[in-house]
Amino acid sequence: MVATADGRATIDGRSGPIGNEADRELFHELRAQVDAVLVGAGTVRIERYGRLVRDPERRRRREEAGLAPDPLAVIASARLALPPDIPLLQDPDSQVVILTASPAAVEGSRARVDYLRPDDVSSPADQREERPERLALAPMLRGLRSAYGVGTILCEGGPVLNRSLLQEGLVDELFLSVAPTLGAGHGSGIVDGPPLEPPRAMELVSVMEAEGHLFLRFRLPV
């Protein structure tokens, strides 16, 4: 996640204006190392997601490390509110798994799209979440492991999905880039929704700096 110094996750509705070149490099290098990238439907819709690893050199390095050339793209969308013209869904080389409670399917997609639904992964008792439009994510992640062999997941947000993952205790690390910018009044923080109970303490693992931007890595003790 990237934020302004006062904790805003967007400027004029987008995250792009906040980060610098080093942040973009870190973003793409993290993608290059994981089995799957998880993202909420709100972010996919607004940021117009496309193919996850575009750089052939990064794809080559992934294959050398024994990974698929592209990570599995995993979208959380309880309502399945995804316009098919999103570039990721139109990319025939991308494999997408949608976590959804909806029985419907995205029409007109050119990517390989699978659906993982609560009934596929668990008993109904697993699915008690505080809001009916939110899936309990722990059984969905277990389903990704058993059906797709996913061991490492990079979640790219957004703030609503982050809150779901944190509330369920499913986050073990946070990479947070902090820009030397104040963005009061622009959007939410990096975690949005009802208060996290209890608030989560983190341990600082490392700090780097480039052009006045800070790159923080935290560990969340289990």
Ligand X SMILES: NC(=O)c1ccc[n+]([C@@H]2O[C@H](COP(=O)([O-])OP(=O)(O)OC[C@H]3O[C@@H](n4cnc5c(N)ncnc54)[C@H](OP(=O)(O)O)[C@@H]3O)[C@@H](O)[C@H]2O)c1
Q: Which of 5, 11, 14, 189 binds ligand X (CB under 6 A)?
A: 14
By C-beta, is 41 or 171 nearer to ligand X? 41
Q: Which of 192, 202, 217, 218 binds ligand X (CB under 6 A)?
A: 192
Phi, psi torsion values for 157, nearest 5 degrees: 90, -160
Map tokens 């799209």 to a residue. Answer: 113
Specify which residues 97 forms β-bridges with. 74, 114
Q: Which of 71, 118, 139, 158 binds ligand X (CB under 6 A)?
A: 158
- What six digits make up the tokens of 169? 């205790």
Q: Does 156 bind ligand X (CB under 6 A)?
A: yes
Distance CA 81, CA 101 (A): 11
Residue type, 3: A
- In the DSSP assignment, the letter for residue 199 is P
Q: Minimum Å distance from CB 197 to ligand X?
A: 16
Q: Does 161 bind ligand X (CB under 6 A)?
A: yes
Q: Does 159 bind ligand X (CB under 6 A)?
A: yes
Nearest to 97 by CA among 87, 85, 111, 86: 111
Work out the angle between the directed axes of helices 21-31 and 56-64 (0-180°, nearest 10).
40
Q: Minimum Å distance from CB 56 to ligand X?
A: 25
Q: Which of 53, 62, 77, 86 binds ligand X (CB under 6 A)?
A: 77
User: Which residues of this protein are in contact with ligand X, per CB under 6 A?
Assistant: 1-3, 9-10, 13-15, 39-43, 46-47, 76-79, 81, 133-135, 137, 156-161, 164, 192
